[in-house]
Amino acid sequence: MHKSFLRIAFLIAGFSVVLGAFAAHGLKNIISAASLNTFETGVKYQFYHAFGIMITAILYKEFQEPKLIWAGRLFLAGIILFSGSLYCLALLSPSFQFLGIITPFGGLCFIMGWLTLFFSMNKKEKKEE
């Protein structure tokens, strides 16, 4: 499972760079400054949480705690919901503004992912005798 998470994280991180370059060079003259800022926020959080998935994968290899799988899934869901909704808000017409309702659910997934990571490391280790 850890290699799958690593592959996903690498793709997400690479795609973040592509989206960031697209925003900086392709979108700056097409969309408003506010929309560009919204798009860049999505890119930042996508990139940050790609590292969260990488950390999760590395920890899973070491500890094989099932909660770590949930942490990785929550980070991935957060990227899709949070960053994805921000990309839609920035790029789509005002008639799609209702998608902004999805963004907080993505943020909640990020928070739950970090908390799940925290609680996965609180399991007491068995003493070796």
Residue 58, pLDDT above cutoff 80: yes
Percent of the chain past pLDDT 90, that is, above it, reads 82
The answer to whether 50 touches 20, Cβ cutoff 8 Å, is: no
pLDDT tens digit sequence for 85-105: 999 999 997 888 888 999 999
**Amino acid identity for residue 58 in this structure:** I
Contact 27, 36 (CB under 8 A): yes
The size of the chain, in residues, is: 129
Give the pLDDT mean for 101-115: 97
**What mean pLDDT is predicted for residues 70-77?**
97
| The predicted structure's pLDDT at residue 124 | 64
Specify the range with the lowest mean pLDDT, choosing from 35-44, 50-59, 115-124.
115-124
Angle between helical axes of 66-78 and 33-63 (0-180°, round to 10): 170
**Which has the closest alpha carbon to 81: 68, 95, 59, 100?**
100
